[in-house]
Structure 1
Amino acid sequence: MKIKALALLLTLSSTLSYAAGSVTVYPGDRQPPQNLTNVERLADLVTQPSLSRAWWPGAVISERQATAAAEQQHQKLLAALSSFAAQEDGDDAAAINSLRQQLQAIKVTGRQFVTLDPDWVRVRPRSNVTLLGDYSLWAGPQPTTITLMGLVSSPGVKPFVAGRSADEYLADVNTLSGADRSYAWVVYPDGKTEKAPVAYWNKRHVELLPGSILFVGFSERLFDSDFNELNQQILTSLTHRIPD
């Protein structure tokens, strides 16, 4: 009986060890990635001493199978934009192609929308989830920029200014054909999104955080829901973007 019990214990231990998560950590600042094995729970990961300088509001954890799905959806989005551009001409086609090029330059991942702050995870058992499978974690330092994307003339990385609102970031930015001039979308580092009124008649103070994306999408079209759906698909890709 003792031999059987010992064999069962060893089998169970081996199974648990095999099931525990493997995590590739990208700490930013051009540091090489780290490979962690047998990470059983989220707290075991986020309390690693090597991550003591991580800026957790902007950290992203992803799972391998979810990444494959996110990449597939992103490729479908790029194909849809190509199709729409081919149906347009002149400024409209140029604007769509510009947006497609911006989105083609980003990499997406199968982001898991969980709170990664170590203090939160430690004191809330429900947040200390089990890790099974293969994961990637991006946990770099706090960024000093935001990223402007969409139907704008000068997309790209811009300096983050504390207290500056979405409409202020867009004050001197020219929009392209078909752009929504009344609203923009803020994609916060934690993956949450907010529709920000930015026109003179409706503007409201919506502040960005460092590392946020400010996205100017297609204007809403009463008789063409395809473009409205594109905005949502783009936002999905942006919330799954791998941090810079």
Structure 2
Amino acid sequence: MKIKALTLFFALSCPVTYAAGTVTIYPANQQLTGVERLADLVTHPALAHAWWPAAIISERQATAVAEQQHQTLLAQLRHFAAEESGDDAAAINGLRQQMQAVHVTGRQFVDLDPDWVRVRPRANVPLQGDYSLWTGPQPTTITLMGLVNSPGVKPFVAGRSADEYLDGVDKLSGADRSFAWVIYPDGKTQKAPVAYWNKRHVELTPGSILFVGFKDRLFNSDFNQLNQRILHSLTHRRPD
């Protein structure tokens, strides 16, 4: 499994005296002030029933960066669609419409599990600035996205692998028919072999995204980079 590096949004080298953070909790839209450390947040009574594997914490300045990167991605998809024609153009435009519906945030890739944070002092970092936290109950669905004929929310089935979720799903022009990407709720990603010749059991977890991207193009490196840019936006996707 590919593990993304931690984002250094906490002032680990700050002086001993620092301003405590402000955290807005969604979807309740509840604001907590004076949150000094991460443990103070994840052990707050208001979050007693949170399902932490799908929780997302973001920072205000990082959100501005993520939103700009997402707008750049949408412009690139529009550009590539204009350069193609027929089924290829239609497929790219369909993907662009999916990505237009995605709202991104300045996600911070840190472990929010309360038990982990409590027993590991290095994980209990100080909070400074303005943060948003999205959390809620355990999801009961996964989301299928990409170059497929039926994107959208699908029921989560325990034990079902990526290739099984794609059974009966038609892939559009230009799609990778050998691999798909799993984006787990905690932001980790994994490339899953899904063709008959390379199939391997890669399970999703509740709240995961299954993304079918573009197949490799030998003479178009810009096009090949689109998959990574899309994955970046999907790992920074804000819960609806």
Give the TM interval when normalised to the shorter protein.
over 0.9
| Correspondence list, 1:213-224, <5 A | 213-224=209-220
Higher helix share: 1
> Could you say what secondary structure the match of 2:53 adopts?
helix
Q: Which runs of 4+ in 1 moved over 2 A?
A: none
Unmatched segments (≥5 aa) in structure 2 = 1-14
Residue 125 in 1 paired to residue 121 in 2?
yes
- Residue of structure 1 equivalent to 2:23: 23
Residue 110 in 1 paired to residue 106 in 2?
yes
Q: How far apart in 1 are the matches of 2:171 and 2:120?
A: 45
- Residue of structure 2 equivalent to 1:72: 68
TM-score after normalising by structure 1:
0.91
Aligned length: 226
- Residue of structure 2 equivalent to 1:46: 42
Residue 239 in 1 paired to residue 235 in 2?
yes
| Greater relative contact order (CA < 8 Å, ≥ 6 in sequence) | 2
Q: How far apart in 2 are the matches of 1:116 and 1:243?
A: 16
| Correspondence list, 1:124-163, <5 A | 124-163=120-159
Q: Could you tell me which amino acid in structure 1 is paired with residue 176 of structure 2?
A: D
> Could you say what secondary structure the match of 2:104 adopts?
coil
Q: How far apart in 1 are the matches of 2:217 and 2:227?
A: 11
**TM-aligned CA deviation for residue 60 of structure 1:** 0.2
TM-score after normalising by structure 2:
0.92
> Could you say what secondary structure the match of 1:79 adopts?
helix
**TM-aligned CA deviation for residue 222 of structure 1:** 1.2
**TM-aligned CA deviation for residue 228 of structure 1:** 1.2
Unmatched segments (≥5 aa) in structure 1 = 1-11
| Correspondence list, 1:150-229, <5 A | 150-229=146-225
Q: How far apart in 1 are the matches of 2:232 and 2:125?
A: 24
**TM-aligned CA deviation for residue 224 of structure 1:** 1.0
Q: How far apart in 2 are the matches of 1:241 and 1:129?
A: 24
Identity of aligned residues (%): 79
Q: Could you tell me which amino acid in structure 1 is paired with residue 150 of structure 2?
A: S
- Residue of structure 2 equivalent to 1:8: none
**TM-aligned CA deviation for residue 226 of structure 1:** 1.3
From the CA coordinates, give the structure whose radius of gyration is larger.
Answer: 1
